[in-house]
Structure 1
Amino acid sequence: MKPPTMPLLLLVLLAVVRLSRAQAQTSFLDWSRILPSLSRPANHSRIFYAVMFDAGSTGTRIHVYTFIHSESAELPVLDNEMFHSIKPGLSAYADSPEMAGQTVRMLLKVAKKTVPRLVWKRTPLVLRATAGLRLLSAEKAQAILDQVQHVFDESPFLVPDDSVSIMNGTNEGILAWITVNFLTGHLKAQSKKTVGILDLGGGSTQITFLPKLRKTIESAPDTDFVARLDFFNSTFELYTHSYLGHGLMAARLATLGALGAQGLEWQVFKSSCLPKKFRDEWSFGGLTYQVSGDPDGYAGYKLCYQEVLKVVKGIIHQPHELEVSNVFYAFSYYFDRAVDAGLIDGVQGGMLEVRDFKKRAKEVCNKMTKYPPVSPFLCMDMTYITCLLKDGFGFKESTVLQLTKKVNNVEASWALGATLDHFHNLKIH
């Protein structure tokens, strides 16, 4: 059944939005420059498309958006999203960048099947890479981007300037906030009721919300934690930050003491967060690590928490007012690990309290010996998520989170916001 259409109010908002940060400005959507001039019957609808690649640290995803603009209607609508993903992420090909290009080439088949051939040449093609490539050396990251650019250039789609790049971490959080608040219907003129977002990727994690108290902005560590949205004579000051190296996979490395380690071929990285008899290889970011439990020590939640606390403590800033702030939508690995732990349904998602993560982390960690989990990292991951929420951001155990993967059949991520944001660079006639 076709998903319900939704008004693209955000497209009007973004036409007059200005996103500003310290010494940086990002202009948003100028809708008049996107839509073709229409000289057709008043009831004629124009369908057009956009293709956005999300090159994450653990996978590459393609989003093909279908938009409808009717001359007789004030607002266009987002009609549909086609989504597909491939693992691993492009950063896994740090030493063979041509494989990164091949990954993108494979995903382009989805776009070719979704977008009618007649409009390929005016359908924009954009890729934004996130923490996986940010964690690589500049030289290796650029080699991957060059390969992607080559694949884009030989494709039949419209390839605008700056079509392939690494996204700023702060913009990643802000654009995800815009996407989720648009999809939940909270992004309206004069609206002061919004939802916060928590995004846990493989390499980085983001938090973005609209504070209710001025002290939250004033007590932020520096201007990098504040972004301003001006529209319809209203100003939204957002608390937002991206923590590179604190995504779930990077946190595994830090917990194991393997972050930046040398001599990987002969070292074994041990943790009390892993089953005592477990030993295997684990790969992330193009490198392979020997990991194991501690066969001569103890395993369990308490020791595991002490390990992950070292990764979080003193690094993650605690905003002033989380206990009185908005509902938070949590997605990406927050959602995936909650599904793996049996806390929520993998399709419907659900509401959880922070204490639910803590309770299940204890159960998984303290029963690893008798009942090995499906994933040997589940204890570590659930404990890290608990620690990140409690001792990192400072959420109370009673704080309710909305765990979700999709909102109104659209992926909960920064991709839709980034697609809309990018349109201001294009001249589609």
Structure 2
Amino acid sequence: MHRAVAWGSAAVLGVLAVALFLLLLTLAKDTALPARNKYGLVFDAGSTHSSLYIYCWPGGKENGTGVVSQLEACSVEGPGISSYADNPAGAGASLKPCLDRAMEIVPAEQQQETPTYLGATAGMRLLREQNSSKAEQVLAEVAKAIGQYPVDFRGARILSGNEEGSLGWITVNYLLETLLKWSITGTWIHPPAEDVVGALDLGGASAQITFLPGTTISDSSTRALLRLYGTNYSIYTHSYLCYGQKQALKMLMASLHQGSSSPQQISHPCYPLGYQENLTVAQLYDSPCVQAPSTASPAESLSVRGTGQPAACSAAIQELFNFSCGANESCGFNGVYQPPLRGEFFAFSGLYHSLHLLNLTRGQPLSLVNATIRQLCNSSWLKVQELLPSMSSSQRRDACAASSYSLALLLHGFGFDHSTWPHIHFVQQVGNTDVGWTLGYMLNLTNMIPSEAPQRVVGLQRSNWVAATVLLAIMLILIFCLLTAMCCQRGSSGYERL
């Protein structure tokens, strides 16, 4: 009777040990073989150039946070797609080298399931204002070119200014993990609202400011309502069309031309002393952001001469802005409502590049930034070429104007001052990922940032592994002891028979 009970106990323990072993083996297999990576492609079709961003993330964590990484950013040769208004097929052809590069990176067996998007920004918004049919033709040709590749193409469209600003804000806060963070206790936590940062973006044709204000947004046209990870955000965002760097400098040149005492001569205080160039009226007034005088002939040649005058340069740039708030108690410029600035801000794109050329993106005080730009603007053309040897001729020519415009936009346009300047962080990347609207665009359209907070990850943690292993060991020891006892009892019974 005792022997039968012992054998039964040993059998039960053996079955439990085998079951526990198989469970551990399955969990170990799942841990050792994670889901394969997934990929996403996003074209940023800007006003001056286009880029293709190639993203990657673990397939099993689509609703997680901080898991998307940028594999590569491929710069498309040539100008932005809006420049192909009279040659739409050329816009599509320009994208193919970067698409070929993406096909080398994304595994062939996953290309057909790789979501691919193209978003066009202010350059195409301006073209649409000028000629909507040409804008549609350009979009059709780029869609046709992308459609020839074995990807999950989900469309090409023109983003609104508020979309561009909101998506840039999502990108930077996603990368900084200020929307949702995985804590050391193994749970998701929502960082306080004070940790959320603002986004400052300067493109070629538009400028965006987006942040979470501390007050109610009174103008609904500047409000974006977002629900991210189970939290509602009412953010302020506005895009200033024509106030991107390229268009703003074109407006500056047009203003100088129209204010010149000689219609064929333009004295440019932001160009270095000794610099000269010629351009036609048609070249100067080729954008809806500037309107040519009725008396000007398109073929008329204009002579531009740099004078290198920092104070006059700053004054001429400030004339591009209208600082009257009108009916709004608080505004940015041109009468556009803007609540008081709040929190930290990340400045990227043109704001970063224009100041990075002068090594002014490392948190230097505003006084040093002002002095450095003033010194550059006071330099001769020969001196500027020595100071910026690796830059192209046009970059050297525009260095003073671009950096002065960025400073004027931040201080006079958006309202930063000496006390809030330290809250601006100039960045190109966060965590090896370029900051801009493209990542936010892909995250939004692939639903990788859900409207509800993700559930706590259910899995076997380290402590549970240890407990399970100890339990398995105890079972094996008990089985061994039972079998040993039965063997001893059987041997003892045999001796008694003798």
For Structure 1 versus Structure 2, the TM-score category normalised by the shorter chain is 0.7 to 0.9
5 Å-filtered alignment, 1:325-404, equals: 325-344=342-361, 350-368=362-380, 371-373=383-385, 374=388, 375-398=396-419, 399-400=421-422, 401-404=424-427
Q: Is the 8 A contact 1:42 1:72 kept in 2?
A: no
> Structure 1 residue 237: deviation in Å?
1.4
Q: 1:65 — aligned with what?
A: 55
Compute the TM-score of the two structures, normalised by the length of structure 1: 0.77
Unaligned runs of 5+ in 1: 1-40, 345-349
Identity of aligned residues (%): 29
Q: Is the 8 A contact 2:277 2:304 kept in 1?
A: no
- Is residue 227 of structure 2 the alignment partner of residue 210 of structure 1? no
- Is residue 241 of structure 2 the alignment partner of residue 244 of structure 1? yes
Q: 2:115 — aligned with what?
A: 124
Q: 1:31 — aligned with what?
A: none
Equivalent position SS for 1:312: coil
Q: 2:14 — aligned with what?
A: none
Q: 2:135 — aligned with what?
A: 141
- Give the aligned residue type for 1:336: H
- Give the aligned residue type for 1:311: L
> Structure 1 residue 414: deviation in Å?
0.7
Question: Is 285-294 or 118-127 further displaced after alignment?
Answer: 285-294
User: Distance in 1 between the 2:138 and 2:150 partners?
Assistant: 21
Q: Is the 8 A contact 1:354 1:395 kept in 2?
A: no
> Structure 1 residue 145: deviation in Å?
0.8
Equivalent position SS for 2:397: coil
Structure having the higher helix fraction is 2
**Cα gap change, 1:108 to 1:383, in 2 (>3 Å):** same
5 Å-filtered alignment, 1:146-185, equals: 146-160=140-154, 163-185=155-177
> Structure 1 residue 258: deviation in Å?
7.0
**Cα gap change, 1:212 to 1:413, in 2 (>3 Å):** same
Equivalent position SS for 1:132: helix
Q: Is the 8 A contact 2:179 2:229 kept in 1?
A: no
> Structure 1 residue 416: deviation in Å?
0.5
**Cα gap change, 1:47 to 1:393, in 2 (>3 Å):** same
Match of 2:179 among 180, 187, 192: 187
**Cα gap change, 1:291 to 1:168, in 2 (>3 Å):** farther
> Structure 1 residue 365: deviation in Å?
1.2
User: Distance in 2 between the 1:259 and 1:225 partners?
Assistant: 32
RMSD: 3.1
Q: Is the 8 A contact 1:276 1:293 kept in 2?
A: no
**Cα gap change, 1:92 to 1:294, in 2 (>3 Å):** same
- Give the aligned residue type for 1:363: Q
> Structure 1 residue 159: deviation in Å?
1.7
> Structure 1 residue 351: deviation in Å?
2.2
> Structure 1 residue 79: deviation in Å?
4.1
> Structure 1 residue 286: deviation in Å?
8.2
Q: Is the 8 A contact 2:352 2:428 kept in 1?
A: yes
* Number of matched pairs: 366
Question: Is 76-85 or 376-385 further displaced after alignment?
Answer: 76-85
| Cα deviation code 1:81-102 (max 9, x no counterpart) | 3111124211222222222111
| Cα deviation code 1:274-311 (max 9, x no counterpart) | 1243223688998899776446xx54111111211111
The structure having more radius of gyration, on CA atoms, is 2
User: Distance in 2 between the 1:328 and 1:236 partners?
Assistant: 17
- Give the aligned residue type for 2:340: E
User: Distance in 2 between the 1:164 and 1:376 partners?
Assistant: 35
| Cα deviation code 1:44-74 (max 9, x no counterpart) | 3131111000001111100111110338997
5 Å-filtered alignment, 1:9-88, equals: 42-43=30-31, 44-70=34-60, 77-86=67-76, 87-88=78-79
Question: Is 361-370 or 105-114 further displaced after alignment?
Answer: 361-370
> Structure 1 residue 139: deviation in Å?
2.3
- Give the aligned residue type for 2:208: Q
Unaligned runs of 5+ in 2: 1-28, 181-189, 288-297, 324-332, 389-395, 449-498
- Give the aligned residue type for 2:201: D
